[in-house]
Amino acid sequence: MKLKKLVPALALTAAALTAVAAPALAGRTTTPSSYKVVAWNDLGMHCACPTFAGFLLLPPFNTVRAQVLGYGSNDPVIIDSTNAGTYGVSVSYAMADNTEATLQADPYFQQWITYAPKLFPGFAPVSGGKVQGLAGNGISGNMTYDSTLKDWTAVGIPAYPLVDANSSKNVMTDPLGGANRNPYPMTNVYVKNASGTILAQTSTVTPVAFGGCCSCHLSLAAANGYPATASGSFAYLGKMHGMNSSKIDFNYLDPTGDGTSGPIRCSWCHWDPAMGETAAPGLANVWPNYVIMAGAGFTKADIKVSQYSFSDVLHRFHSQSTKVLTQYDANVATNCYDCHPGNNVNCYRGSHKAKTALWCVDCHGNLNQRTAAGQLAQPWKASTLPSCTAASAGANPAFACHATNIVGGTVYPTNPSLFGKFINGRGHKGSIKCQTCHGSAHAEAPSTMTLDNTQLSNLQGSTSYSFPAGKDKTYALGVCVFCHPTKTSTWGVPPHL
Amino acid sequence: MFMKSRMFQVIATVVLIASLAAPALAKEKAKGKANGGEFDFKKTSQFIREMEGRPDFPVATVIANDYVYTLLAMGEKIDAGRQNAIIVNVKLGQQKNGGFTPDKTNKNASILYTDIALETLSLLDAGNAIDRTKVKSFAASLKNADGGFGFSQQAKKSSLATTYYAVHVLKAVNGIDAVEKAKTVEYVKAFAKKDGGFGPEKGTGVANARSTYMAAYVLNALGALDEATAKKAVQFLEKTPYLDKKSKERPDLDEQLYAIRALREVGAGNRVDKTIALNFMKRLYIKVNGGFGPLEGYGSTPDSTTTALRILSEIGKAKGAVPLVAKR
């Protein structure tokens, strides 16, 4: 009985191996016989605000990255901008759930369309009837090759949480009391030839959610005599800001000189690398004719570029404010979901979460530790981010990080530059991005969320692939034959260097 | 005759067994539905006990408190080894000035974490494991000229919340004599709002249940809660979603707890609407892991789960855990 089952299986495997191995055995071809593409979101989660009338924390801005492999020879060809031209292929993306119609009809996104030109002078959120993100990318288009980071990218696409027709996807609670939304829209990535024929395609989650800010700030506004609304919250925040050493109550700032206050962008004064900035531009450089409205307790001399990054002032204030600690959360230094998307979104959802009681602070440090270590003065820098082998400076992790140079029992030469930071790190002969195989940061494979695992399940879903006990197709890309036609179809841990 | 007698014996035996077994069966049934069957405390326990897997257990002052309160409130026992680890950890948080810090790596003591640490020790019947005299002097050192108390020796400004924590701590260590009663009462009364409750800020702004409870507690502790103030507080609480079924205000977990406590504090414990509270807890309960979220539609955290257990204890749906000092 067993033999009867085994024979067809062996025959199938042999046929499959022959089929996939043939091109390689024939020698390295000039043009790949086929292509494979793996895509991911750069951070595993982006925040975007539900309102934009008062001030901007974070805009719709999501980045999808992909690596494309030309398949056929034993060593696949990594497709970059040069050989893509040679082979006549292009890489493109199309958001699957966010559409022109739904985005432009969404009342929250409409606020973005209304106020974005004031927040980013010169930027048109809708051009030629089509929505575009801050970097000029719309809901579909070509990806460009990033020769520094060695991947194809679509920077700043306007992904936004949506009220999905499939209500089971609407897991995110709207802190403003609106309908629940889907914070995990998908984006398709294609490799096409010159005539537009799809040669390879995949889908990745493009996560974007509202944060938890409104959950506390609406009641904070009410407690201080302001309406428990987004605008009331902005108004009270402005007043609070005016009570700090800057004296600037931003309710009295009229950037455009049109006689109305706001909206303002925090990163005009507070340097914010999350916005792609290396320095704060300063209000006067963005809106030279800005006006300070009557009744303000400050003058133009007080409008300065802050020495503190936006990340610094935001995190430090919340962890040190006695009002926050005594009236809202005594444990705010470790309760990251107070502000980051935990409103049933649970942005930290990767394999780390599944395996242990490891929490954000084990890798990043709690807010007190981050402040003490000066992390927040240089946010988003490689020097302050955790890696696979070490937590951020100042963190006091309860769990051991991954060994520096031992993978699957094999000892490799120590070379931190090769096994360095995860998000833009590369390994496997220095050519494959960590996230190509492991998935997005915060959603590392296998993720606790099924949708994150869809791509790897498809890529490693061939029935000819086999997995050792305890592993399956949702694990990090590890079936050698997926990329190398003559190698094993059994999942394993590939060389990381 | 024999048959009749035999039948009588059988019936009598059955009745006797049934009557003897009834109380035990009823008790067993009641035990199985200790919380009405709405919540799977076994899962809740597993959720809270996840932190036992951390090498740095019990991690921090607040998290240790979550662990201790929640397990005890569900009627569980904490093994001696973990109790000891928690006591040692809490003790390490006491600074030279007598106050406690959020975790052992932090050196800035505050009245907030001192209060939390004291409750944790008290729940474990280890209140004497620390220097209580130094605790009193720390709390007293935060007293300001306005009658209020500050947060820490670095953040000296008074607030209603920090004054509450200071009075609470002082009462726990028999140090209420350190309070200048008249000044503190005057300070606290300035937080009263027109609607009858108390707010977190003086002047404009609205009242909330947390501040109403804190003010009532301080006034009670200082023997200054008058009937009119208590009555006004109830009038305010009647308009909150914790008593008013028609309220359109979105309920909040912390506020639900403080609404109950405020009612008890002003002598209106019989006004607590247990049904509203229970239904709210049902909406916050996360079946997947047994925890409770802070708001409807939010995921569970240890902190919010602990607050939910405090509420369930208040309404008799959990065993509850009584510290040897006043409740936090």
pLDDT band at A75 (very low <50, low <70, confident <90, very high): confident
The Cα–Cα gap between A254 and A260 comes to: 6
Chain A contact present for B59, CB below 8 A: yes
Q: Report CB contact under 8 Å: A398, B54.
A: yes
Same domain, A5 and A94: no
**Which CA distances in Å does B307 have to A161, A223, B49, B98, B291?**
30, 21, 16, 27, 11
Find residues 73-112 of chain B whose CB sits inside 8 Å of chain A: 102-103, 105-106, 110, 112
Query: Is the same domain home to A67 and A114?
Result: yes
Percent of chain A surpassing pLDDT 90: 70
Instruction: Tell whether A454 is covered by a domain.
Output: no
Convert the pLDDT of each residue in A35-60 to its tens digit. 999 999 999 999 999 999 999 989 99
Best CA proximity match to B112, nearest among A438, A137, A321, A348: A321
* A185 in the same domain as A36: yes
Query: Is the same domain home to A64 and A115?
Result: yes
Beta carbons of A325 and B112 less than 8 Å apart: yes
Contact B297 A334 (CB under 8 A): no
Nearest residue to A69 (alpha-carbon basis) of A474, A420, A437: A437
Any domain includes A390: no
The domain boundary, picked from A211, A235, A265, lies at A211
Enumerate residues 6+ apart whose C-beta is below 8 A from B135: B94, B98, B99, B114, B118, B169, B173, B175
Does residue A306 lie within any of the structural domains? yes
pLDDT of residue A179: 96
Q: Are residues A194 and A237 in the same domain?
A: no
Contact residues on chain A for B59, CB-CB shorter than 8 A: 334, 398
Does A254 lie in the same domain as A177? no
What pLDDT score does B323 carry?
Answer: 63
Quick one: A83 and A177 in the same domain?
Answer: yes
Average pLDDT rounded to a whole number, residues A188-214: 96
User: Which residue in A222, A330, A342 is closest to B116 by CB distance?
Assistant: A330
Contact assignment for A334 to B201 by CB distance below 8 Å: no
Query: Which residues 206-245 of chain B have a CB within 8 Å of chain A?
Result: 206, 208, 210-211
**A287/A223 same-domain check:** yes
Is residue A246 situated within a structural domain?
A: yes
Distances (CA, A) of B40 to A272, A273, B280: 45, 45, 16
Tokens 């609670």 belong to which residue? Answer: A173
Q: Alpha helix (H) ranges present in A243-306?
A: 283-286
- Check CB contact under 8 Å for A344 and B298: yes
pTM score of the predicted model: 0.87
Range name among B128-132, B207-211, B308-312 with the lowest pLDDT average: B128-132
Residues A36 and A25 in one domain: no
User: Which residues on chain B are in Cβ contact (under 8 Å) with A225?
Assistant: 203-206
Residue at A433 is within a domain:
no
- Residues A116, A143, single domain; the answer is yes
A261 domain-assigned? yes
- For chains A and B, count residue pairs whose Cβ atoms are closer than 8 Å: 104
d(CA B93, CA B106): 8
Q: How far is A182 from chain B (nearest CA, A)?
A: 13
Shortest distance between the Cα of B107 and any Cα of chain A, in A, equals: 11
B298 touches chain A (CB under 8 A): yes
The boundaries of the domain holding residue A157 are 31-211
ipTM of the complex: 0.85
Q: Select from A211, A233, A257 the last residue of a domain.
A: A211
Asked whether residue A298 falls in the same domain as residue A203, the answer is no
Average pLDDT on B20-45 reads: 63
- Summarize pLDDT for B222-233 with one digit per residue, the tens: 999 999 999 999
| Same-domain check for residues A74 and A119 | yes
Per-residue pLDDT at B53: 87
Q: Tell me, yes or no, whether A362 lies in a domain.
A: no
Chain A neighbours among B 5-44 (CB < 8 Å)? none
| A227 found inside a domain | yes
pLDDT tens digits for B250-261? Answer: 899 999 999 999
Q: How many domains, chain A?
A: 3
B175 φ, ψ (degrees, to nearest 5): -120, 25
Q: For B147-180, how does the pLDDT look when each residue is reduced to its tens digit (9 = 90+)?
A: 999 999 999 999 999 999 999 999 999 999 999 9
How far is residue B203's CA from residue B188's CA, in Å, rounded to a whole number? 12
Please give the average per-residue pLDDT across A299-309, as a whole number: 94
Query: Which whole number is the average pLDDT over A20-41?
Result: 66
Which pair of tokens denotes residue A154?
């679509």
User: Where does the pLDDT of residue B7 fall: very low under 50, low under 70, confident under 90, or very high at 90 and above?
Assistant: low
B113 touches A: beta carbon within 8 Å? yes
> Between B51, B201, B301, which is nearest A357 by CB?
B51
DSSP 3-state of A92 = strand
Q: Pick from A211, A230, A259: which residue ends a domain?
A: A211
